[in-house]
């Protein structure tokens, strides 16, 4: 039977070492009977359970969802782009070690994506070598680095190092704009603001020539690229109008968008087909957002039915993205 690869699942370590006291936002895990609380700044950030770190529970759920291999990445809040670099570095190492251990114990079922302290570019570049040494296949970064746009030239050294190391760059929305316009309801971040945030990040990369500068860098946009597919006709029209708008892009933005990979977490068949029409089915990989409540159940089946394509094609896309056939 052809395997199904879920490229968007998250990990939280069962335990995070205590921070020496200088950082009030250092996360901790409070274990309860059947759940756990991720605590940030003395408040509950998110309720989770052992699926976030327990391989056996994950494998059981994978059997139910008909998934053979998970790509495991950090819970985005752990990225900590707003920390002092030395604090972020310590947290990155702990999380990367946890993901690497999970993958090493079950190499047929898990591959990992790590994290680096992006707020210090020189340090992040050095830590990319560590991510590679852990056997991880990529790094996850937010849609901005504590307010710095992803197209900012200061990040070019990180992109160059990731390209050289043949690591996937997974972009995940984080601390989105616009919550104040939705009544400051933090629960709306993932529901309504994340898709816009991902589109902002993608447009920043497109207009600043990152994909042209680093043509071998493989970038995975979370949640089907968010709102990007719906912006592409407007971006294309602006480009086709000629100067001055045309100068924003090195080439037609619809062509640039086909350089990204996209997971299938759109929850709606026609929306996923629309994305495929814009960027091509060969740029799509299955994703679920496991183990969080917003996850897509049976993600491979959903994508197959929505796109009228066999899972072997989606699997081939993921294997190419993560270079699974190249060691």
| Domain extent listing, the chain | 5-11+56-321
Beta bridge partners of 251: none
- State how far the alpha carbon of 201 is from the alpha carbons of 105, 170, 194, in Å: 34, 12, 11
User: Using one digit for the tens of pLDDT, what is the confidence trace for 157-173?
Assistant: 999 999 999 999 999 99
Closest by CA to 291, choosing from 54, 78, 27, is: 54
Pairing of strands 110-112, 69-74: parallel
What pTM, to 2 d.p., does this model score?
0.97
Could you give the CA distance from residue 67 to residue 102 in angstroms, rounded to a whole number?
17
The pLDDT value given to residue 327? 61
User: Using one digit for the tens of pLDDT, what is the confidence trace for 217-241?
Assistant: 999 999 999 999 999 999 999 999 9
The pLDDT value given to residue 2? 63
Which CATH class name applies to 5-11+56-321?
alpha beta
């Amino acid at each position: 039977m052809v395997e199904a690869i879920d490229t968007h699942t998250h990990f939280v370590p069962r335990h995070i070492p205590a921070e020496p006291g200088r950082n009030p936002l250092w996360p901790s895990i409070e274990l309860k009977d059947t759940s756990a609380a991720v605590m940030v700044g003395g408040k509950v950030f998110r309720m989770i359970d052992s699926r976030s770190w327990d391989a056996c529970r994950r494998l059981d759920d994978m059997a139910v969802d008909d998934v053979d291999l998970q790509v495991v990445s950090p819970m985005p809040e752990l990225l900590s782009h707003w920390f002092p670099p030395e604090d972020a570095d310590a947290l990155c190492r702990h999380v990367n070690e946890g993901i690497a251990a999970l993958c090493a114990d079950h190499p047929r079922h898990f591959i990992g994506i790590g994290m680096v302290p992006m707020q210090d570019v020189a340090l992040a570049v050095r830590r990319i070598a560590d991510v590679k040494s852990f056997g991880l296949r990529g790094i996850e970064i937010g849609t901005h680095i504590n307010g710095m746009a992803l197209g900012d030239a200061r990040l070019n050294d990180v992109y160059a190092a990731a390209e050289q190391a043949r690591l996937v760059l997974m972009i995940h929305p984080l601390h989105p704009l616009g919550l104040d316009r939705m009544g400051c309801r933090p629960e709306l971040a993932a529901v309504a603001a994340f898709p816009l945030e991902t589109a902002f990040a993608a447009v920043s990369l497109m207009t600043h020539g990152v994909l042209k500068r680093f043509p071998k860098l493989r970038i995975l946009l979370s949640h089907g690229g968010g709102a990007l597919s719906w912006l592409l006709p407007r971006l294309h029209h602006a480009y086709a109008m000629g100067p001055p708008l045309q100068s924003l892009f090195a080439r037609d933005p619809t062509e640039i968008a086909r350089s990204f990979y996209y997971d299938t977490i759109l929850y709606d068949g026609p929306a996923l087909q629309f994305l495929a029409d814009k960027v091509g089915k060969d740029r799509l990989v299955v994703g679920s957002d496991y183990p969080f409540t917003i996850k897509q159940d049976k993600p491979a089946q959903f994508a197959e039915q929505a796109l009228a394509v066999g899972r072997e094609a989606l699997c081939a896309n993921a294997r190419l993205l993560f270079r699974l056939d190249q060691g």
